[in-house]
Amino acid sequence: MSESSTLQRTQTRERILEAAETVFSDNGYHDALVDEIGKKTSISKGGLYFHFPSKEDLFFAVMDRLANKLVKRAEKAAHRGNSPLESAESALDAVLSALSAQKRLARLLMTQGYSMGNAFESKRSEIFDRFAIVISQNLDQAKSDGQISDINTDLAARVWIGAVNETVVHWLFSDGPTPKELASDLRRLLLASVQISDSSNNRKNANQ
C-alpha cells in the first residue's frame, strides 16, 4: 500500500470514528444506527464495514480512541509532578478533569455499552487497566522513595481507579457535583489509603 493510500485510509478511519463517537454518545450502543454514522460521513454501510467489520468493532475502536486521549493526558500530567506521589495525584486529577469537562464522552466510556454485556465490561476493564498502570508506576516509585508504606501498589492503583469509576458513574446518573469538584476530597481519601509515611509528612512540612 502506498504512503498516500495509507494516509487516506487513516484519515477516513478518523472521520468514521469522529462521527461514531457522536452517534454512540448520543444514543448508546444498542440504539446507535450504523446508517446514521454513514450519513454523517457520506460513506456507505459497505465502506464503513470495510474499515470496521462490525458495529461492535467500531464501538470498541471509539472507546480505544477516547482511552488513548485520556491516558496520554494522565501521563502528561504525571510528568509534571515534583515527586512520584504528586505525579500519581496529578494523573488522577487529569482524568477527573477530562471526564468532568465531557459528560457525553464520560457516559460513552462508562455506561453506553452496557447492552453489550460481558464484552463491554471486558473492554472497560482493559481500559481501566491502562489508567491503573500509570498510577501504579508512580506509587511504586513513591514506595521506593519512602513516601508511602510498603503496600501492594497494583491493588492500590485499582482501588484508586475504582473510586474514580464510582464517582463518575454516580455523577452521570445524578445532578450532583462533578468529579472535578470532588477531586480534592477524593484525593485526600485515596492518599490516606496508601498510608503516607511520617517521613513524607515531615519533608512536606519542611518545604512549606
pLDDT of residue 198: 55
According to the model, what pLDDT value does residue 200 have? 46
Task: Note the CATH architecture for domain 3-199.
Answer: Orthogonal Bundle (1.10)
Specify the pLDDT at position 208.
Answer: 46
- Give the pLDDT confidence of 78-89 residue by residue, as tens digits: 999 899 999 999
Q: Is the dihedral of CA 94, 97, 102, 107 positive or negative?
A: positive
Per-residue pLDDT at 5? 80
Q: Are 68 and 130 in contact (CB under 8 A)?
A: no
Q: What are 150-163's pLDDT values in tens digits?
A: 999 999 999 999 99
How far apart, in Å, are the Cα atoms of 88 and each of 41, 47, 72, 153, 166? 39, 42, 14, 11, 19
Spatial distance between the Cα atoms of 72 and 80, rounded to a whole number of angstroms = 13
Cell of 200: 513524607
Measure the CA–CA gap between 89 and 86, rounded to whole angstroms.
Answer: 5
Query: CB count, 10 Å around CB of 140?
Result: 17
Mean pLDDT of the chain: 88
Tell me: the pLDDT tens digits for 34-71?
Answer: 999 999 999 999 999 999 999 999 999 999 999 999 99
For position 103, what pLDDT does the model report? 86
CA 149: distance to chain centroid?
27
Domain ranges, ordered by start, for the chain: 3-199
Q: Does residue 204 carry a pLDDT above 60? A: no
Predicted confidence (pLDDT) per residue in 124-139, tens digit: 889 889 999 999 999 9
For residue 199, is pLDDT > 60?
no
pLDDT in tens, 155-198: 999 999 999 999 999 999 988 899 999 999 999 999 999 976 55
DSSP letter string, 98-156: HHHH-HHHHHHHHTTTGGGTHHHHHHHHHHHHHHHHHHHHHHHHHHHTTSB-S--HHHH
